Structure 1
Amino acid sequence: MLSSAIILGFLGSFHCVGMCGPIAFVLPLDRKNPVKKFFQILLYHTGRLITYGLLGFLFGIIGKGLFISGLQQRLSIVIGVIMIIAAVIPYGKFQKYNFSKPAFKILAQIKSSLGTQLRKKNFTALFSIGFLNGFLPCGLVYMALFGAIAMGSPERSFLYMLLFGIGTIPLMSGAAYLGNFLSGTARKRVQQLIPVFVVIIGIFFILRGMGLGIPYISPSEIHLMVKSNPDCVTP
């Protein structure tokens, strides 16, 4: 399941180039110094990865609580179903619902801070831009967080989101280096594949929750369930 995070991140980055690409296009980079520019972009990605990892860790705490409560398998099935529904139903159907409205003030502060950092030209600003960028609303990040919850522990959830972020690095780096290097047709074709892959991941989560005894894909219930007060048997 961890490998799905990298693939989701890579395919999702075609969407990210369209949504967060403008931020990468205007990063305050030293474009005359290739070595300095490389480390500046690296700092930007480091900031994003830390944010994704922290979000994964926090959602992993929730997942661990459900894991200990014996709900991990059910949770995996529910998350798989949610992923499939979100991939199948056109995004336009959700546009009339502003899910980020309760956090509007926080998002406004993040965008304001991003604007401030984008006007600076130092290494700290590049890290801060990446860190704040990771908090911006993104449907693919939400999908990855659903997957992170199902990992069952904060550490594995942290790793899941870290791998998701790593998957976005190639195209986001290309956006920082080359600007809008992908044609609209190319992005559209790849974006059409994203829902297909999200459905496939959703199916894997459902199979994982069913505990069919299939190694690596659907381990048996005994490997997924953990009791908060396990029985001890002594010979």
Structure 2
Amino acid sequence: MALYPALHFTMLEISLLSLFVTGLLGGVHCLGMCGGIVTAISVTGQGSKPWLLLGYNLGRLASYVLIGALLGGLAQWGVAQADFRPLQLGLFAAANVLLILLGLYLAGLSGVVTRIERLGQPLWRRLQPLTRRLLPLRHGWQSVLVGALWGWLPCGLVYTASLAALASQSASSGALVMLSFGLGTLPNLLLMGAFAHKLGQWKQQRPVRLVAGLAVSAIGCWHLAQLLLSA
């Protein structure tokens, strides 16, 4: 049972809504990180296969939920061991600082977040060859496995959501946080599969990147303001 139920509820409620919106607004980033694989899955040499794209996204969401459950479970263990509140607040603040940096990156104003993404490169170098062995995709189970592996791709958006999951106080809350984020990214990637070229051109336009990026940063600033007001 959570030691600070009121704080936990507030943070979880904020995370679920804001991470869904962040995933939605982060479509510019999704385009760069997943655009190539999504286009390859959506249109194969045998024509368009939307069910392969659905399988890919199902696998990706499953990995996000697993990451959230693992991090939330770790947090739950930490609650049982010691006073978790200071660490929880610190993680919540760190997640939103990262969110601000990510928004600035999406807006084309800062590249700091790309340095943070490099932290996951050692793991990704081990996983990426496995995805190549599954290509080209011919069966639904292959697309699910590729999506599950792609869920571990180093990504500032995923890192932000992961910190929020770690700031939760249970495996179920962490899984829910990551699921909410994943569902926010879903419309972008599904549309990307259907209209990859046109969507890519539209989202690379400077005004679109600027508005989306600053909106993501604004969410992070709002969360930090809420944290300071509740202190």
TM-score by length of 1: 0.74
Matches within 5 A, 1:154-173: 154-173=171-190
Aligned equivalent of 2:100: 87
Deviation at 1:194, TM superposition (A): 2.8
Structure 1 residues not aligned, in runs of 5+: 213-235
Instruction: Choose which of 40, 48, 53 in structure 1 pairs with 2:65.
Output: 53
Equivalent pairs counted in the alignment come to 208
3-state DSSP of counterpart to 1:56: helix
Do the aligned partners of residues 71 and 128 (structure 1) sit closer, same or farther apart at CA in structure 2, a change above 3 Å counting? same
Do the aligned partners of residues 40 and 120 (structure 1) sit closer, same or farther apart at CA in structure 2, a change above 3 Å counting? closer
Matches within 5 A, 1:71-82: 71-72=84-85, 74-82=87-95
Amino acid at match of 2:51: F
Contact 2:100 / 2:220 at 8 angstroms: preserved in 1?
no
CA distance in 2, matches of 1:39, 1:93: 36
Matches within 5 A, 1:104-143: 104=122, 106-143=123-160
Deviation at 1:184, TM superposition (A): 4.1
CA distance in 1, matches of 2:69, 2:221: 21
Question: Whose helix fraction is larger, Structure 1's or Structure 2's?
Answer: 2
Structural RMSD (CA): 3.0
Instruction: Choose which of 187, 193, 207 in structure 2 pairs with 1:189.
Output: 207
Do the aligned partners of residues 143 and 202 (structure 1) sit closer, same or farther apart at CA in structure 2, a change above 3 Å counting? farther
Contact 2:98 / 2:113 at 8 angstroms: preserved in 1?
no
Instruction: Choose which of 40, 56, 63 in structure 2 pairs with 1:26.
Output: 40
Deviation at 1:30, TM superposition (A): 6.4
Deviation at 1:85, TM superposition (A): 5.7
CA distance in 1, matches of 2:96, 2:223: 11
Contact 1:79 / 1:147 at 8 angstroms: preserved in 2?
yes
Structure 2 residues not aligned, in runs of 5+: 1-13
Contact 1:77 / 1:207 at 8 angstroms: preserved in 2?
no
Instruction: Choose which of 54, 66, 70 in structure 1 pairs with 2:83.
Output: 70
Aligned equivalent of 1:5: 19
3-state DSSP of counterpart to 1:20: helix
Do the aligned partners of residues 125 and 177 (structure 1) sit closer, same or farther apart at CA in structure 2, a change above 3 Å counting? same
Contact 1:11 / 1:190 at 8 angstroms: preserved in 2?
no
